């Protein structure tokens, strides 16, 4: 079976892990990592200032349409969490391309960090809105 990597386009902010694996290892069990999970910067601004995920949610927490959208999507997100986790965990650390060049994909600590950030964001930012 041959593996092919699809092109993925990202502005690099989805998990804001612009740090080395060693830095992730040092921070992943600390409260600072939890703060990172909910303080991820969004593409949205208010009065010229970029908003963190936490600030964005705070700003719209009284908007009925926003809350309704969150409430309607939480069951689907919850249902798909296991599939997303499996996808991340089964992503190979590296592959060898058609030119026999080894290409690094993702380390185990980075997988762990992504899953932890995803869980923190879901539980700390979205779930409270649906209650």
Q: What is the pLDDT of residue 36?
A: 84
The two structure tokens encoding residue 94: 């590296």
* Entry pTM: 0.77
Segment 18-62, tens digit of pLDDT: 789 999 999 999 888 888 888 888 888 899 999 888 899 999 888
Backbone angles phi, psi at 3, to 5 degrees: -105, 135
Question: What is the domain partition of the chain in residue ranges?
Answer: 21-130
Dihedral angle computed from the Cα positions of residues 48, 65, 129 and 85, in that order, rounded to the nearest 10 degrees: -90
Q: Please report the pLDDT score of residue 47 as a whole number.
A: 92
* DSSP designation for 34: H
Q: What is the pLDDT of residue 18?
A: 76
Q: Is beta strand 94-96 parallel, antiparallel or unpaired with respect to 49-52? A: unpaired
Q: Please give the mean pLDDT across all residues of the chain.
A: 85
Q: 96, 109, 116, 124: which is closest to 38 by C-alpha?
A: 124
């Amino acid at each position: 079976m041959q593996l092919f990597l699809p092109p993925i386009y990202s502005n690099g902010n989805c998990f804001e892990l612009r740090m080395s694996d060693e830095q992730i290892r040092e921070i992943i069990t600390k409260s600072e990592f939890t703060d990172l999970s909910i303080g991820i910067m969004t593409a949205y601004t208010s009065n010229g200032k970029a908003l963190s995920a936490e600030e964005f949610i705070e700003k719209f927490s009284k908007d009925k349409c926003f809350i309704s959208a969150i409430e309607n999507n939480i069951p689907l997100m919850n249902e798909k969490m296991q599939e997303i986790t499996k996808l991340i965990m089964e992503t190979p650390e590296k592959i060898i391309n058609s030119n026999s060049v080894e290409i690094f994909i993702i380390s185990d600590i980075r997988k762990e960090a992504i899953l932890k950030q995803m869980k923190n964001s879901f539980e700390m930012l979205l779930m409270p809105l649906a209650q």
